Structure 1
Amino acid sequence: MIFPNLILVLLSLLLFSCSTSEKSQFNVQSDSDIGMYNEAMGYISSKKYEESIEILNELELQHPYSELASRGQVMAGFAQYSLNKYDEAILTLSKFIELNPNHQLLPYALYLKGYSYYERMPDVTLDQKFSVKAYDVFSELENRYPNSSYAKKSKKHIKTLQNHLASKEMQIGKYYQKEGFLLAGIKRYKVILKDYKRTVHVPESIYRIIECYVSLGLRNQSIYLYKILNYNFPKSVWKREALDLLKEYKVNRNLKKYKKKELDLEKLDSSAFDLI
Structure 2
Amino acid sequence: MRFYYLLTFLLFLLITSSCTKDVKQVDIIKEKSLNLQFNEAYTEGLEALDGGDVLYAAKKFNEAESLFPQSDWAPRAALMAAYSYYTQDYYGDAIAELIRFKKVYPFYKQLDYVNYMLAICYYEQIVDEEKDLQSLISSKKYFKIVINEYPESDYTIDAKFKVDYINDILAAKEMYIGRYYLNKKKWIGAINRFKTVIDDYETTIYTEEALHRLVEVYYILGLSVEAEKYAMLLGYNYKSSEWYENSYSIFNKDYEISNKIGKKQKEKNSYILEKFKSLFE
TM-score w.r.t. structure 2 length? 0.73
Q: In structure 2, how many angstroms separate the alpha carbons of the residues matched to 1:104 and 1:41? A: 23
Say whether the 8 Å CA contact 1:93–1:113 is kept in structure 2: yes
Higher relative contact order structure (alpha carbons within 8 Å, sequence separation ≥ 6):
1
Q: Percent identity?
A: 27
Match of 2:252 in 1: 247
CA contact (8 A) 1:207 1:242 kept: yes
Find 2:183's aligned residue among 178, 184, 191: 178
Secondary structure of 2:73's counterpart equals helix
> 1:161-204 CA distances to partner (integer Å, 9 max, x unpaired)?
11111111111111222211111111111111111110111001
1:129 to 117, 128, 134: 134
Residue type matched to 2:184 in 1? E
Are the aligned partners of 1:43 and 1:52 in contact in 2 as well (CA < 8 Å)? yes
**Residue in structure 1 matched with residue 119 of structure 2 by the alignment:** 114
Identify unmatched segments of 5+ residues in structure 1. Answer: 1-29, 251-276
Conserved? CA contact 2:178–2:189, under 8 Å = yes
Q: CA contact under 8 A between 1:124 and 1:167: conserved in structure 2? A: no
Aligned to 1:78: 83
In structure 2, do the counterparts of structure 1 residues 249 and 194 end up closer, same or farther at CA, with 3 Å as the change threshold?
A: farther
Unpaired stretches in structure 2, ≥5 consecutive residues: 1-34, 256-281
1:192 aligns with 2:165: no
How far apart are 1:46 and its partner, in Å?
Answer: 4.4
How far is 1:51 from its partner? 2.7
Residue 169 of structure 1 aligns to which amino acid in structure 2? E
Contact 2:126 2:132 (8 Å CA) reproduced: no
Alpha carbons 1:110, 1:137 under 8 Å: kept: yes
In the TM superposition, what are the counterparts of 1:47-126 in structure 2 within 5 Å?
47-126=52-131
Q: Secondary structure at the match of 1:32?
A: helix
Structure with the larger helix share? 2
Distance across 2 between alignment mates of 1:155 and 1:126: 23
Residues 231-269 of structure 1 deviation map (CA, whole Å, 9 limit, x = unaligned)? 11122221111112222399xxxxxxxxxxxxxxxxxxx
Distance across 2 between alignment mates of 1:98 and 1:249: 65
Tell me how far 1:70 sits from its aligned partner.
1.4
After superposition, the CA RMSD in angstroms is: 1.9
User: In 1, Cα distance between the equivalents of 2:52 and 2:229?
Assistant: 59
Aligned residue for 1:149, secondary structure, equals: coil
Cα distance in 2 for partners of 1:150, 1:91 equals 21
User: 1:121, CA displacement in angstroms?
Assistant: 2.1
Residue 181 (structure 2) pairs with residue 166 (structure 1): no
Contact in 2 for aligned 1:139/1:158 (Cα 8 Å): yes
Distance 1:207 1:249 in 2: 19
Determine the C-alpha separation between the residues in 2 that align with 1:45 and 1:231: 58
Name the amino acid aligned to 2:58.
I
1:152 aligns with 2:157: yes
What amino acid sits opposite 1:233 in the alignment?
Y
Aligned to 2:31: none
